[in-house]
Amino acid sequence: KQEVTQIPAALSVPEGENLVLNCSFTDSAIYNLQWFRQDPGKGLTSLLLIQSSQREQTSGRLNASLDKSSGRSTLYIAASQPGDSATYLCAVPGYYNTDKLIFGTGTRLQVFP
């Protein structure tokens, strides 16, 4: 059974720092991996999707990498800003039903001025 883990559970950094959020998964046979952002009390917004054939995807100050063989993905945020404060979740498709996503528990990020 696929399990998705995110470490750390919470992170607090000063504005301007570059930071890395980690996501690991137990079954490396994934089709893709997604990173989401969730603001307090809100739904999730898809940030990046990396296909299994890709090693990374970039969107603005965000860069996500994927290493299937080691069961890991990282989300790199450059020059963090207070507006980046949110919970970040990663998710992979289920093996038998790829329309369903399995989510990690998230990393709660706070960027202070």
Partner 1 sequence: DVKVTQSSRYLVKRTGEKVFLECVQDMDHENMFWYRQDPGLGLRLIYFSYDVKMKEKGDIPEGYSVSREKKERFSLILESASTNQTSMYLCASSRGDRVLSGANVLTFGAGSRLTVL
Q: Kindly tell me which residue out of 18, 58, 105, 110 binds partner 1, with binding defined by CB under 8 A.
A: 105
What are the E-state strand segments in the chain? 4-7, 10-14, 19-25, 32-38, 44-51, 56-59, 62-67, 72-77, 86-93, 101-103, 107-112
89 binds partner 1 (CB under 8 A): yes
Separation between Cα atoms, residue 5 and residue 96, nearest integer Å: 20
58 binds partner 1 (CB under 8 A): no
* Partner residues linked to 111 by β-bridges: 13
Interacting stretch for partner 1, rule CB under 8 A, among 21-29, 62-70, 78-86, 98-106? Answer: 98-106
Separation between Cα atoms, residue 10 and residue 78, nearest integer Å: 18
Pull the structure tokens for residue 99: 């329309």
55 binds partner 1 (CB under 8 A): no
Residues 5 to 44: which contact partner 1 by CB under 8 A? 31-32, 34, 36, 41-44
Q: How far is the CB of 93 from partner 1 (least distance, A)?
A: 5
Query: Which residues contribute to the site for partner 1 (CB under 8 A)?
Result: 31-32, 34, 36, 41-46, 49, 51, 89, 91, 93, 97-101, 103-106
